[in-house]
């Protein structure tokens, strides 16, 4: 077993704080200091949010208190150079408008608050917190949440100059690297037989399947727990069938609890325990990949960064699996991909009964949306919940005390990857606003919010293109591909926003269109990249059309994909071949290996 | 076998609920078009019951409705009772209303008659072509519906489908699940498919304009989907009129399909872009995305509606301005300056930034 345990993590955190101090010592001459908020030693009640690094530049910490201010985050820094410093925080007002900003906080230096509240400016940028006189070398820094409603802080900057740091997105990354003294390449390099990025059901299954056959595997996942949408952090139960991988998938699946149920934690414990039990899986929890570089259409390495400490590792391997959901590895490496809804004619996927809601005459970007689940608790006591002017625009008159899968948001000016933070925040406004509305009713006085996810549960984003693009026709025709490695009987369901038909309905509620079907199959050729020679994909970013995704997007099916590519990687290693050659040269041996998994 | 209206006694067409205007009032011709069969839900019988679907046409001989007088068994716990209803579909096979017979009220569990509100609820359920009942078997529903809504909370949802249970409970008549289920599937089953198939035989081509110029949303989008590129020009006035009154689904369809040469005409552009504040957000996105195809006025019209834009829409619009600075008029500049100071508009800071870099 080789994963980064709590103990090791603490050690890394301690080492990082030492490193940080070293950096400060070096930077004192420059009379400024940058502290990444996510590297705070004690996060208090703040949570690390790594979901939007590609858009806003970094992991950050967020005061997700569901209306109750969270406990302070704190860290200790050694200043060698005493004197007056100006202090800025990189933050944002996540609901700009003519009301008090919902997520406000203050910075405390040695227990004393700086002058200005923070979280007031639209868009990510540096806000001036105030001036402080550093009198001793040991400085305690705290973030004090004032509102309980998702204040967020990316970084804190101390400078003897009154010039604020850059807000230019293009300059910021370089500025940050310079301030942190970061080298171009990661300090550490690790080599594996297979590097899997994304620890959802697909990634976990790929890791188990390949590790069981003796491969040395790295599983990189950007959250503290495994499972992605099935994790206790998002809480969608696994649907679909096990296909030929029941034994493997039962190590990581969930019971059929209601979406959003706290029962998710039991399956979480099972999943994490099982994956960690494999000696040849190196599990990198809280590591987020940020680059993949290919030469001659072959990925050379994947670079990842720890979501709190900022430490970096370069992962090299002959083959890689992209199970990130958003197809990031393929995207960085130059893999062909698609996004959006194809025109009905592209693959002949029209369904007259549902017309534009199913497959449009002209292609567009109106993909299925993301969900943020939430749950209440009914107690003996009366609980107050504030009225929230900043949430009413979204929630309107809608009243609710819990969410479900159909709390889903997509809109044609929003991209499920690039605008994911806005989508998540829109859902938070929908949730808090609808709950505030429901709390006006006497019958709900004993309810309080028990849990609101802050992670975006995505259904659809980039789809990497393989040798075969899986479509609705493959479902309708029940095509029994010679390389069928995934099978499913679940109906195809594709969602649409209810307010497309009735504008009186809030924009965050969806409806499903179901296509009932007999068994259908996904071919292996949809699970490796068409143009990147050593890239597998598994999960919602597999090679399919928008409608093709409608059936096999659920997690036991994506888990099957993971197990299938994990086993394909075994054949690849045995013959030192790329994924395509498993199909062209060793298909029978591969299928035989799959049969043995039952 | 077709049966002419003259050969039978004129039935009572009066519906109890009807979601169209008053098409049922002017019926001069009533002919049997086809039959559809439904398996009896009475398990003691193995037969399929045949129902006749009739086409109702008006005094001008124009087809207007499909109609069926249905007698079906509704069974609960092995005990069955007959339900009699008159069902109305529009020409596309979409349910539009139903009626009952005074002698035969619909019944609930233990054969209590429907209350007034129950009939209303049934109509609402039947109008939902994507009802939660659609993909369920009756056997899935028995014993799985919570007794009351108050039982549905986070702690006692038992798994399979808490959300679904709640939805079923909310959409069916209390105590009338069997009746609702049976009738919904009758209305949205085979008959609907056969009506759609029959559309060609009743002269769909002649009806094209009727659909396009009707007030009904399903007819309108069907009519729009039948148009050739040239037809768009012929019917442009009606298309703009539909755009004004319809839902987001049809509006976005129109914006995608309007031929470029028509879209760029000053009059069409003006009409479409003037409606900007009143249309849904998805249509707004398309209007902004299609600025390059619109007549030059569009850019200035939108400058008057800046505070109706989402963040991304505004960004897109400002980017367009940046690429077309010569087209920025003084009026537009005034509007930009005004909205950049508007505290009630969440994204005014973007305009402020734009003005600073584009002085």
Higher pLDDT, B55 or B200: B55
B246: nearest CA partner in chain A: A501
Chain A nearest C-alpha distance from B197 (Å): 11
Q: Exposed, middle or buried: residue B215 (CB in 10 Å: 0-12, 13-18, 19+)? A: exposed
Q: Which among A361, A364, A501 has CB closest to B249? A: A501
Q: How confident is the model at residue B74 (pLDDT cuts 50, 70, 90)?
A: confident
Mutate to test the interface with A, among B155, B282, B289, B347 (most CBs of A within 10 A): B282
Q: Which of A258, A342, A507 to mutate to test the interface with B (most CBs of B within 10 A)?
A: A258
For Cα atoms A320, A325, A330, give the angle at the middle one, nearest 5 degrees.
40
Q: Does some domain include residue B256?
A: no
Q: How far apart are CA B193 and CA B221, in angstroms?
A: 18
Would you say residue A177 has pLDDT above 50?
A: yes
Closest CB from A95, A258, A366 relative to B157: A258
- Across the range A337-352, mean pLDDT stands at 97
Per-residue pLDDT, B77 = 64
Q: Is A553 exposed, middle or buried (0-12, 13-18, 19+ CB in 10 A)?
A: buried
Query: ∠ CA B96-B98-B100 to the nearest 5 degrees?
Result: 175
Which of A433, A424, A425, A368 has the alpha carbon at shortest distance from A394? A433
Whole-structure pTM value: 0.93
CA A471 to chain centre: 26
What average pLDDT score do residues B43-70 get?
86
CA dihedral sign, ordered A314, A317, A322, A327: positive
pLDDT attached to residue B40: 62
Domain contains A142: yes
A158 and A94 together in one domain: yes
State the average pLDDT over residues A38-49: 98
CB pairs A-B closer than 8 Å? 100
Asked if A155 and A299 sit in the same domain, the reply is no
- Structural tokens at position A361: 């005459």
Q: Residues of A with CB below 8 A from B160's CB?
A: 256
Query: Per the CB < 8 Å rule, is A413 touching B310?
Result: yes
Cβ–Cβ below 8 Å for A503 and B248: yes
Of the residues A116, A150, A180, the one at which a domain ends: A180
Same domain, A96 and A233: no
Per-residue pLDDT band for B12 (boundaries 50, 70, 90) equals: confident
Work out the mean pLDDT of chain A and round it to a whole number.
94
Residue B75: per-residue pLDDT: 73
Establish if A357 belongs to a structural domain. Answer: no
User: Which of B333, B275, B341 lies closest to B308, judged by CA?
Assistant: B275
Q: Give pLDDT, residue B141.
A: 72
Worst-scoring range by mean pLDDT, A88-102, A223-237, B178-192?
A: B178-192
Q: Per the domain annotation, does A434 fall within a domain?
A: yes
B56, B66 contact by CB (below 8 A): yes
Q: How confident is the model at residue A1 (pLDDT cuts 50, 70, 90)?
A: very low
The single residue listed with the structure tokens 């200043």 is A79
* Among A108, A45, A118, A122, residue whose Cα is nearest residue A77: A108
Query: Is the confidence at residue A578, as pLDDT, over 80?
Result: yes
* Statement to judge: residues A205 and A333 lie in one domain: yes
State whether A193 and A176 are in the same domain: no
Q: Which residues of A touch B311 (CB under 8 A)?
A: 422
pLDDT at B146: 44
Residue from A259, A399, A412 whose CB has the most chain B CBs within 10 Å, to mutate: A412
Check if B127 contacts A (Cβ < 8 Å): no
- Chain A residues 343-362 with a CB less than 8 Å from chain B: 352, 355-357, 360-362
Residue B143 has pLDDT above 70, yes or no: no
pLDDT of A397 above 90: yes
User: If we measure between CA atoms, which residue out of A410, A419, A422, A426 comes closest to residue A368?
Assistant: A410
pLDDT class of B48 with cuts at 50, 70, 90: confident
pLDDT of residue A24: 40
Query: At B50, is the pLDDT very low, low, confident or very high (cuts 50, 70, 90)?
Result: confident
In tens, the pLDDT along A501-528 reads 999 999 999 999 999 999 999 999 999 9
In the 8-state DSSP scheme, what is residue B309?
-
If contacts are CB pairs under 8 Å, which of residues 230-259 in chain B contact chain A? 247-249, 252-253, 256-257
pLDDT higher than 90, residue A31: no
Are residues B30 and B165 both part of a single domain?
yes
Question: Kindly report the CA angle at A499 between A496 and A500, in degrees rounded to 5?
Answer: 60
Longest dimension (CA), chain B: 83
Among A546, A498, A548, smallest CA distance to A343 is for: A546
Q: Are A411 and B343 a contacting pair at CB < 8 A? A: no
- Residue that has been written with the tokens 């939108």 in this structure: B302
> Which chain A residues contact residue B185 at CB under 8 A?
none
Q: Is A493's Cβ below 8 Å from some Cβ in B? A: no
Q: Are residues B344 and B212 in the same domain?
A: no
| Shared domain check, B223 and B108 | no
The answer to whether residue B287 sits within a structural domain is yes
Would you state the pLDDT for residue B43?
A: 55
| d(C-alpha A343, C-alpha A335), whole Å | 22
Neighbours of A400 (CB within 10 A): 20
A133 pLDDT more than 80 = yes
Q: Are residues B109 and B188 in the same domain?
A: yes
Name the minimum distance, in Å, from the CA of B55 to any CA of chain A: 21
Is the model's pLDDT at A107 over the cut of 90? yes
Considering the domain architecture, whether residues A269 and A337 belong to the same structural domain is answered as yes
The partner residue sitting opposite B153, judged by closest CB among A259, A378, A511, is A378
Query: Which band of pLDDT confidence, cut at 50, 70 and 90, is reported for residue A40?
Result: very high
Q: Are residues B176 and B278 in the same domain?
A: no
Give the residue carrying structure tokens 């069955």. B80
Token pair listed for A276: 């960690």
Do B228 and B303 lie in a common domain? no
Q: What is the pLDDT of residue B151?
A: 37
Coil, strand or helix at B197:
helix
- Inside any domain, residue A358: no
CB < 8 Å to A355, chain B: 221, 225
pLDDT of residue A19: 42
Residues B27 and B131 in one domain: yes
One domain, residues A157 and A245: no
In whole angstroms, what is the distance from residue B221 CA to residue B275 CA?
19
Task: Report, as an integer, the average pLDDT of B34-52.
Answer: 72
- Confidence label for A21 from pLDDT (cuts 50, 70 and 90): very low
Q: How far apart are CA A202 and CA A538, in angstroms?
A: 6
CB A117 within 8 Å of CB A105: yes
Q: How many angstroms separate the CA atoms of A498 and A505, rounded? A: 7
Q: Do A360 and B256 touch (CB under 8 A)?
A: yes
Q: Please give the pLDDT value at position A401.
A: 95
Of B149, B164, B195, which one is at a domain's C-terminal end?
A: B195
A281-285 and A2-3 beta bridge pairing: parallel
A351 occurs within a structural domain: no
Residue B9 is given by DSSP the state P
**Per-residue pLDDT averaged across A475-487, rounded?**
97
The answer, for A419 touching chain B at a CB cutoff of 8 Å, is: yes
In angstroms, what separates the C-alpha of B161 from chain A's closest C-alpha?
A: 7
A52–chain B nearest CA distance, Å? 17
Q: What is the mean pLDDT of residues A384-410?
A: 96
Query: How high does pLDDT run on average in chain B?
Result: 87
What's the pLDDT score for residue B158? 33
Q: E strands, A279-402, where? A: 281-285, 287-295, 298-306, 312-316, 319-322, 337-338, 370-371, 374-378
Range 102-131 of A in CB contact (< 8 A) with B: 121-123
Taking only Cα atoms into account, the Rg of chain A, rounded to an integer number of angstroms, comes to 24
The whole-number average pLDDT for the span A260-275 is: 95
Q: Which of A470, A485, A466, A461 is closest to A541 using CA atoms?
A: A461
Q: Are the Cβ atoms of B349 and A405 closer than 8 angstroms? A: no
CB contact under 8 A, A503 and B313: no
Give pLDDT, residue A169: 86
Other beta carbons within 10 Å of A97: 18
- Residue A8 is predicted with a pLDDT of 43
Domain count, chain A: 3
Q: Is the pLDDT of residue A232 over 80?
A: yes
Please give the Cα distance from A428 to A420 (Å, whole number): 12
Interface test with A, best of B93, B135, B154, B164 (most A CBs within 10 A): B154
- Is the pLDDT at A192 greater than 60? The verdict is yes
Q: What string of DSSP letters covers B167-204? A: HHHHHSPTT-HHHHHHHHHHHTSHHHHHHHHHTTTTTH
User: What tens digit of pLDDT does each residue of B223-274 get?
Assistant: 999 999 999 999 999 999 999 999 999 999 999 999 999 999 999 999 999 9
The radius of gyration of chain B from alpha carbons, rounded to an integer in Å, stands at 27
- Is there a single domain that holds both residue A294 and residue A253? yes
If asked whether residues B316 and B190 sit together in one domain, one would say: no
The residue of chain B with its CA nearest to that of A261 is B154
d(CA A504, CA A497): 12
Same domain, A27 and A169: yes
Residue A503 C-alpha, separation from nearest chain B C-alpha, in angstroms: 7
Are A411 and B280 inside 8 Å of each other by CB?
no
Same domain, residue pair A171 and A202: no
Q: Is residue A211 part of a domain?
A: yes
- Asked if residue B293 is part of any domain, the answer here is yes
What's the rounded mean pLDDT across residues B146-162?
A: 40
Local confidence band at B179 (pLDDT 50, 70, 90 cut-offs): confident
Q: Of A402, A423, A452, which closes a domain?
A: A452
Same domain, B170 and B286: no
What pLDDT is stored for residue B203 in this prediction? 75
Residue A60 phi/psi, 5° resolution? -140, 175
The answer, yes or no, to whether ipTM is higher than 0.90 is yes
Residue B82: which pLDDT band, with cuts at 50, 70 and 90?
A: confident
At which of A429, A452, A475 does a domain end? A452
Min CA distance, A404 vs chain B (Å)? 7
A347 belongs to a structural domain: no
Side-chain half-sphere exposure of A66, counting CA atoms within 13 A:
15
The CATH number for A84's domain is 2.60.120.260
Clarify whether residues A37 and A148 are in a common domain: yes
Segment B302-331, tens digit of pLDDT: 999 999 999 999 999 999 999 999 999 999
Domain encompassing residue A143: 2-180
Question: Could you give the number of structural domains in chain B?
Answer: 3
pLDDT band per the 50, 70, 90 thresholds, residue B139: confident
**Is any Cβ of chain A less than 8 angstroms from the Cβ of B353?**
no
User: Is B258 among the domain residues?
Assistant: no
- Least confident segment among A36-50, A254-268, A424-438: A254-268
A318 in the same domain as A201? yes
Beta carbons within 10 angstroms of residue B237's beta carbon: 11
The band of A25, judged by pLDDT with boundaries at 50, 70 and 90, is: very low
- Is A98 in Cβ contact with B349 (below 8 Å)? no
Read off the pLDDT of each residue in A227-237 and give the average, rounded to a whole number.
97
Is A433 among the domain residues? yes
In a domain, B259, yes or no: no
Tell me the per-residue pLDDT of A287-299, one tens digit each, with 9 for 90 and over: 999 999 999 999 9
| Mean pLDDT value of segment A306-332 | 98
CA distance A535 to B145: 47
Residues of A in contact with B286 (CB under 8 A): 412
The percent of residues above 90 in pLDDT, for chain A, comes to 90
Tokens of B315: 């960004």
Q: Which domain holds residue B211?
A: 204-251
Do B39 and B132 reside in the same domain of the chain? yes
């Amino acid at each position: 077993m080789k994963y980064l345990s709590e103990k090791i993590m603490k050690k890394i955190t301690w080492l990082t704080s030492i490193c940080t101090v070293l950096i400060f010592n070096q930077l004192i001459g420059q009379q400024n200091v940058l502290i990444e908020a996510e590297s705070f030693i004690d996060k208090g009640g703040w949570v690390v949010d790594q979901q939007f690094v590609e858009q806003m530049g970094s992991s950050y910490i967020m005061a997700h208190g569901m209306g109750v201010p969270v406990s302070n985050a704190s860290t200790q820094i050694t200043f060698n150079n005493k004197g007056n410093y100006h202090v800025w925080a990189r933050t944002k007002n996540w609901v700009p408008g003519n009301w008090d900003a919902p997520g406000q906080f203050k910075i405390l230096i040695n227990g004393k608050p700086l002058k200005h509240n923070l979280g007031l400016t639209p868009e990510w940028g540096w806000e001036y917190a105030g001036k402080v006189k550093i009198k001793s070398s040991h400085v305690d820094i705290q973030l004090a949440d004032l509102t309980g409603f998702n204040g967020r802080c990316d970084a804190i900057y101390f400078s003897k100059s009154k010039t604020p740091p850059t807000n230019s997105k293009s300059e910021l990354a370089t500025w940050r690297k310079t301030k942190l003294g970061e080298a171009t390449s990661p300090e550490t390099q690790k080599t594996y037989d297979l590097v899997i990025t994304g620890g959802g059901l697909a990634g976990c299954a790929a890791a188990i399947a390949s590790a069981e056959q003796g491969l040395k595997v790295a599983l990189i996942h950007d959250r503290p727990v495994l499972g992605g949408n099935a994790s206790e952090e998002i809480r969608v139960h696994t649907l679909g069938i096990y296909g030929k991988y029941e034994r493997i998938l039962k190590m990581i699946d969930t019971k059929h609890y209601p979406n959003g149920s706290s029962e998710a934690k039991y399956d979480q414990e099972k999943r994490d325990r099982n994956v960690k039990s494999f000696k040849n899986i190196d599990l990198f929890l809280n590591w987020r990949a940020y680059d993949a570089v290919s030469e001659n259409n072959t990925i050379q390495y994947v670079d990842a960064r720890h979501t709190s400490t900022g430490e970096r590792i370069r992962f090299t391997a002959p083959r890689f699996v992209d199970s990130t959901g958003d197809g990031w590895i393929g995207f960085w490496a130059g893999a062909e991909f698609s996004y959006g809804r194809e025109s009905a004619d592209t693959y002949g996927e029209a369904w007259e009964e549902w017309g534009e809601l199913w497959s449009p005459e002209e292609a567009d970007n109106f993909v299925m949306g993301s969900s943020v689940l939430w749950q209440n608790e009914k107690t003996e006591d009366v609980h107050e919940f504030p009225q929230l002017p900043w949430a009413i625009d979204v929630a309107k008159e809608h009243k609710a005390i819990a969410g479900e899968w159909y709390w889903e948001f997509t809109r044609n000016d929003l991209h499920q990857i690039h605008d994911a933070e806005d989508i998540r925040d829109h859902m938070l406004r929908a949730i808090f606003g609808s709950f505030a509305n429901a709390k006006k009713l006497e019958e709900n006085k004993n309810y309080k919010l028990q849990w609101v996810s802050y992670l975006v549960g995505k259904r659809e984003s980039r789809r990497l293109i393989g040798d075969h693009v899986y479509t609705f026709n493959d479902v309708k025709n029940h095509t029994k591909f010679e390389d069928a490695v995934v099978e499913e009987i679940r109906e195809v369901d594709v969602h649409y926003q209810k307010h497309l038909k009735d504008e009186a309905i809030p924009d965050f509620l969806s409806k499903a269109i179901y296509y009932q079907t007999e068994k259908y199959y996904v071919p292996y050729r949809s699970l490796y990249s068409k143009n990147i020679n050593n890239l597998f994909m598994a999960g919602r970013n597999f090679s399919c059309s928008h409608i093709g995704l409608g059936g096999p997007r659920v997690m036991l099916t994506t888990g099957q994909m993971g197990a299938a590519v994990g086993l394909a990687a075994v054949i690849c290693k045995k013959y030192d071949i790329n994924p395509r050659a498993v199909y062209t040269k060793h298909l029978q041996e591969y299928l035989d290996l799959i049969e043995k998994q039952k | 076998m077709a049966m002419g209206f003259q050969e039978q006694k004129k039935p009572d067409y009066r519906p109890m609920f009807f979601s169209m205007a008053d098409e049922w009032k002017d019926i001069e011709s009533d002919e049997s078009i086809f039959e559809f069969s439904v398996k009896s839900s009475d398990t003691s019988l193995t037969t399929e019951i045949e129902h006749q679907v009739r086409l109702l046409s008006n005094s001008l001989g124009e087809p207007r409705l499909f109609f069926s007088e249905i007698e079906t068994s509704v069974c609960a716990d092995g005990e069955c009772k007959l339900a009699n209803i008159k069902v109305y579909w529009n020409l596309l096979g979409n349910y539009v209303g139903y009626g009952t017979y005074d002698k035969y009220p619909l019944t609930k569990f233990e054969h209590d008659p429907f209350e007034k509100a129950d009939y209303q609820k049934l109509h609402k359920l039947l109008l939902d072509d994507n009802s939660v009942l659609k993909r369920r078997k009756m056997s899935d529903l028995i014993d799985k519906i919570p007794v009351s809504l108050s039982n549905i909370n986070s702690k006692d949802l038992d798994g399979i489908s808490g959300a679904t249970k709640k939805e079923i409970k909310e959409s069916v008549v209390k105590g009338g699940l069997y009746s609702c289920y049976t009738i919904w599937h009758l209305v949205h089953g085979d008959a609907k498919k056969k009506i759609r198939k029959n559309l060609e035989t009743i002269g769909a081509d002649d009806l094209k304009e009727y659909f396009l110029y009707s007030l009904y949303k399903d007819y309108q989008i069907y009519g729009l989907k039948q148009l050739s590129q040239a037809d768009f020009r012929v019917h442009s006035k009606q298309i703009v009129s539909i755009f004004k009154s319809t839902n987001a689904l049809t509006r976005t369809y129109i914006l995608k399909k309007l031929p470029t040469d028509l879209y760029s005409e000053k009059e069409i552009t003006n009409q479409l872009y003037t409606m900007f504040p009143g249309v849904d957000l998805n249509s707004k996105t398309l209007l902004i995305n299609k600025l390059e195809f619109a007549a030059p006025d569009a850019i200035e019209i939108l400058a008057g509606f800046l505070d109706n834009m989402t963040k991304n829409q505004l960004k897109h619009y400002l980017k367009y301005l940046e690429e077309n600075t010569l087209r920025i008029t003084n009026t537009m500049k005034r509007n930009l300056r005004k909205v950049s100071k508007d505290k009630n508009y969440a994204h005014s800071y973007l305009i402020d930034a734009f003005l600073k870099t584009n002085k």
